Amino acid sequence: MSRIGKRPIPVPQGVKIFIGAELVVEGPKGRLTVPIPDGIRLEQRDGQLEVLRDGDQYAPLHGLTRALAANAVQGVSAGFVRELDIVGIGYRVEQKGRVLILNLGYSHPIEFVLPKGVEARVERNTHIVLSGADKQLVGQVAANLRALRPPDPYKQKGIRYTGEKLLKKVGKTGAGGK
Side by side, which strands form the sheet with 80-87?
118-123, 127-132, 80-87, 158-161
| Cα–Cα nearest to 163, from 81, 72, 102, 77 | 81
Task: Provide the pLDDT for residue 144.
Answer: 92
Q: Are 40 and 65 in contact (CB under 8 A)?
A: yes
Dist. CA 27–CA 115, nearest whole Å: 20
> pLDDT tens digits for the chain (178 residues)?
458 778 888 888 888 888 888 889 888 888 889 888 888 888 888 888 888 888 888 888 888 888 999 999 989 988 899 999 888 888 888 888 889 888 888 888 889 899 998 889 898 888 989 999 889 999 999 999 889 888 888 888 888 888 878 778 887 776 655 5
Q: Specify the pTM.
A: 0.82
Helices first, then strands: H and E counts in the chain: 3, 13
| Cα–Cα nearest to 79, from 15, 7, 18, 160 | 15
Task: Provide the pLDDT for residue 1.
Answer: 46
Task: Provide the pLDDT for residue 174.
Answer: 64
| Cα–Cα nearest to 146, from 118, 170, 112, 117 | 112
